[in-house]
Structure 1
Amino acid sequence: MKKRMITGITPSGKMTLGNYLGVVKNLIDWQDEYDLFVFIANLHAITLPQNPKQLKQNTEEIAALYLAAGLNPENVVIFKQSEVPAHSELGWLLNTQTSMGELSRMTQFKDKSQKLANKSSIPAGLFNYPTLMAADILLYEPDFVPVGVDQKQHVELARDLALRFNNKYGENFKVPEPLLTKNKIKIMDLQDPTKKMSKSSLNPKAVLYILDEPAIIRKKIASALTDSENVVRYDPENKPGVSNLMTIYALLKNTTPENIEHLWEGKNYKDFKDDVAEEIIAILEPIQKNYQEIKRSGKLETILNEGALRANRVAQKKVTKTRKKMGLN
């Protein structure tokens, strides 16, 4: 019997190359090995203000890109988080089992709340969304949750809550294991390579999107921040910009930055950046073509509806059992 895995992506912006390399590419490799659940976390997106039309568009675009990149809906359960009410219900039930101290220690809450102009109007949802994330995980009894280093803290909270609930009310939740991204690699911002590339970045030059046209990709890579040395060498501490571009190229080639350093011996940054841009285009163009075909086919809604039905069957059983354990049924 296959081990189960669950993961989600927040549609707070358009899917980036970082999302593809850090999450989607791995899921494509894993989809035959695991019983895989993949959801678009649109309930998490609204912890910060969103334009409703843009949120709907981003949600559908990300779902279509998952499929375009190679996820097979016959084997993978792909769905919108908001179409499975058990996420919200279990999120609330777990909220009652979580302390404010635990939530206040969450790194992402600290980071996101500090960016808000008005500190007195920080949404409560931003503070307690880790309990919803724990519900996302525990509903499906996964064996593994693939995460980057920055998300491991949330899986640890889910594990703590599962153990706490089981000890208090009796065996109910499987305690999942975090599955860290291969090599713990992050794709960084093109204009500030000390920061992670983000869907919500306000600088369009800083982020590569999966649907960027070739001319835009070439322009963004050409303007990516490097340094004045003009030597291609992998050195994340002293050459973060160059190292970030090398990481991107290496991941696209399924190798490591150290293994490709020799490719640019005696070459300048323009040659290096041209190679990186062309490799990105070569990988993304087929995905973009598949994306357009999926949009024209009109099958996306059907796939998401079927995914929601499959997810609901699993999730509702777990939330019903949880309610009974707590004396609510």
Structure 2
Amino acid sequence: MTRLSAITPSGHAHLGNHLGAIRRWANQGRPGDLYFVSDLHAMTVSYNPARLRVLSRELLAVLVAAGIEPDQVFVQSDLVRELGALSWILECACSYGEAARMTQFKQKSGTGEPVGTVRLGLLTYPVLMAADILLQGAAEVPVGDDQSQHVELARTLARRFNQTYGEVFTVPTAVMPPTAARVRDLVDPSRKMSKSTQDSVGVVFILDTADLIHRKIKRAVTDSVERMEYRPTEQPGLANLLEILSACTDVAPADLATQYPTYGALKSATAEAVVEELRPIREGAQSLLADPAELDRIRKAGAHRATERGAHRLSSALRLAGVA
């Protein structure tokens, strides 16, 4: 049973990505699971092509350095021809209303920008996501609440195609991943740590140096209460630090709160734990990035395997749709 997960290179991978997803993929992944860098999804908003290319390679290196088997990873754009063909088939099976009612499209297209400037890809990328899933024959797709609607669309399109033209696609199921650490921005704990934030002061990136990690966590927002208790609502900044340290040490946040007399002591312990948590990934990723031939080899092999996995489904879909 294939399980498919992806991460978009909209920015540098950060601590929240690691604790929330990448670490789980590496430690709990099963043979046959697939993980890919969804660089095509990063094109739905304004972007810099050169930066996208760099971020995609960096993220691929991070996934491998984190311990995910190289034969389980690939970069989405390396299948652009296959995905382009399948996306068109699926778009022709999808109604405008089905695409337009996706919550993310409504949120991102309603930001005050003139309607004429909203990219069409923002409307159609859930169909591309369906193509990602269906091409690989994924049976399970771990997603958060913000993406479950997209998996439901993939289910709808798979069933519709199968019933109209013939059985080709596995109908995927959205699964909720295990609860992960809630990693908040160190400067503004009211928001999640994000790859695309404009202010990186509150974001710990996986490739940050040890000194930079210490500086960022030392400057983390806490409060003036000076009460060492785990109270996420009343003291969100302190709770964020406790949750990060908990994720790195497997000790409950409430228990950790009793072990440190001051915010400063907690920050020092948290910084050191984060440095050690990220050290092997940072070193492994930097080693791969310094060896472009090896990274290219991993990427090319991943693209070949992903293409081969989807070849029969794509050819069958094109034939049954009447265009091959």
- TM-score scaled by length of structure 1: 0.90
Could you tell me how far 1:115 is from its partner in structure 2?
Answer: 4.4
* One-letter amino acid of the counterpart of residue 109, structure 1: F
Q: Give, in whole Å, the separation in 1 of the partners of 2:310 and 2:251.
A: 38
Match of 1:292 in 2: 286
Cα-to-partner distance string for 1:63-105 (whole Å, 9 max, x where unaligned): 11111111221xx332111111222221222122223333233
Distance of aligned partners of 1:292 and 1:151 in 2 relative to their CA distance in 1, 3 Å threshold: same
Instruction: Give the SS at the match of 1:71.
Output: coil
Query: Unaligned regions of 5+ residues in structure 2, if any?
Result: none
Q: Give, in whole Å, the separation in 2 of the partners of 1:235 and 1:100.
A: 45
Match of 1:47 in 2: 44
Q: Give, in whole Å, the separation in 1 of the partners of 2:20 and 2:255.
A: 19
Q: Give, in whole Å, the separation in 2 of the partners of 1:230 and 1:157.
A: 48
Q: Give, in whole Å, the separation in 2 of the partners of 1:289 and 1:295.
A: 10
Match of 1:229 in 2: 225
Instruction: Give the SS at the match of 1:70.
Output: coil
* One-letter amino acid of the counterpart of residue 160, structure 1: T
| 1:146 matched to 2:117 | no
Instruction: Give the SS at the match of 2:259.
Output: helix
Match of 1:307 in 2: 302
- Where do residues 92-111 of structure 1 align in structure 2 (5 Å cutoff)? 92-111=88-107
Q: Give, in whole Å, the separation in 2 of the partners of 1:92 and 1:180.
A: 29
Which of 191, 198, 203 is the aligned partner of 2:194? 198
| 1:21 matched to 2:2 | no
Q: Give, in whole Å, the separation in 2 of the partners of 1:166 and 1:183.
A: 34
Distance of aligned partners of 1:150 and 1:274 in 2 relative to their CA distance in 1, 3 Å threshold: farther
Could you tell me how far 1:196 is from its partner in structure 2?
Answer: 2.1
Paired residues, what number? 322
Could you tell me how far 1:272 is from its partner in structure 2?
Answer: 1.5
Give the CA RMSD over aligned residues.
2.0
* One-letter amino acid of the counterpart of residue 38, structure 2: A
Distance of aligned partners of 1:296 and 1:145 in 2 relative to their CA distance in 1, 3 Å threshold: same
Contact 2:134 2:170 in 1 (8 A): yes
Contact 1:232 1:272 in 2 (8 A): no
Query: Unaligned regions of 5+ residues in structure 1, if any?
Result: none
Contact 1:22 1:181 in 2 (8 A): no
Match of 2:271 in 1: 277
What percentage of aligned pairs have identical amino acids?
37
Cα-to-partner distance string for 1:16-75 (whole Å, 9 max, x where unaligned): 1111111110111133x23022211111111112211111110100011111111221xx
Match of 2:312 in 1: 317
* One-letter amino acid of the counterpart of residue 249, structure 1: L
Q: Give, in whole Å, the separation in 2 of the partners of 1:98 and 1:164.
A: 9
Q: Give, in whole Å, the separation in 2 of the partners of 1:232 and 1:107.
A: 39
Of 226-235 and 202-211, more deviation after overlay is shown by 226-235
Match of 1:161 in 2: 157
Cα-to-partner distance string for 1:282-307 (whole Å, 9 max, x where unaligned): 11122111122222333000110011
Contact 1:208 1:220 in 2 (8 A): yes
Contact 1:5 1:34 in 2 (8 A): no
Contact 2:19 2:180 in 1 (8 A): no
| 1:70 matched to 2:64 | no
Distance of aligned partners of 1:17 and 1:38 in 2 relative to their CA distance in 1, 3 Å threshold: same
Instruction: Give the SS at the match of 1:8.
Output: strand
Could you tell me how far 1:118 is from its partner in structure 2?
Answer: 4.4
| 1:60 matched to 2:54 | no
Q: Give, in whole Å, the separation in 2 of the partners of 1:149 and 1:252.
A: 25
Distance of aligned partners of 1:242 and 1:105 in 2 relative to their CA distance in 1, 3 Å threshold: farther
Of 215-224 and 15-24, more deviation after overlay is shown by 215-224
| 1:216 matched to 2:212 | yes
Q: Give, in whole Å, the separation in 2 of the partners of 1:4 and 1:16.
A: 26
Distance of aligned partners of 1:213 and 1:157 in 2 relative to their CA distance in 1, 3 Å threshold: same
* One-letter amino acid of the counterpart of residue 164, structure 1: R
